[in-house]
Every structure is written in C-alpha cells, then in structure tokens.
Structure 1
Amino acid sequence: MCTHQPPCPTADSTDHHCAVIVSAHPEQGWSLLCNGTIVFDDTGELLPDGRVVGPSRDRRLLAAA
C-alpha cells in the first residue's frame, strides 16, 4: 500500500482525507488518495470498502446564498 514516510493515514482513520493524492482528475471532479479513498470536489468520498461519505455542507454558507 503506502510507501510514503511517514505513512499516509489508512482509509479507516478519522483523518483519512489527509493521505497523498496519487491521481488527480480535476476536470472530472475527483482524486484518488494513496489509501484508496476517492474524494470528490463536493467533499463527498468513496471509501475502498464501498462505503459512501456524503458531502459536508456548511449551513452558514447555505443560509447566505
């Protein structure tokens, strides 16, 4: 898996989104992290085991729109 030093957080870690980007596709709105997590521009995530993490929304920003 990860060959970085120090190693990237695993997909099960609370800080899993801090892993190194190994493949970025900004034109499609997603990036693959070293730990196998796919992160989307809308802040949603797809974990390696298939679990989906919905986008986080800041209610203060939504209320201002």
Structure 2
Amino acid sequence: MAFVVIQEGGSSTEFYVSAWGSVDEAEAHRISCRNDGAYRTTEPVEMPDGTDWDALENVVQSLATLD
C-alpha cells in the first residue's frame, strides 16, 4: 500500500506524483511543499499494491492539457 500526493509544480501546468509508505510521510511531504515553496498538493490518496505508477504519472501529466 502506498499513499500518493499530487503536487503542483512551479507553474500551473506542472504536476508531480509522489508516493509514500505511510500517510504520515505523505502529510510531512505536503507540509514541506507548503512551507518550502507554497506548492499546492492533494490530500494523500491510498493506492493499492500493483498500481501502475507510469500510467498514473501519465494521467497526472495530462492535467496540463485541460481546456
């Protein structure tokens, strides 16, 4: 099981996926993003073992193409 956070990058069209082993680690990452760069993040989302991380990253990167 992993906990995923989607982070907004330096522009409104950059997004990053980070996976953490616990919800506490994911929350610490969110706090760091907020404190270090004022980057917005999602709440942690629990993802099952076997998640296709490359496919998830592709979906998140497609957010930049929203019309």
TM-score category by the smaller chain? under 0.3
Greater relative contact order (Cα < 8 A, sep 6+): 2
More helix by share: 2
TM-score computed with the length of structure 2 as normaliser = 0.23
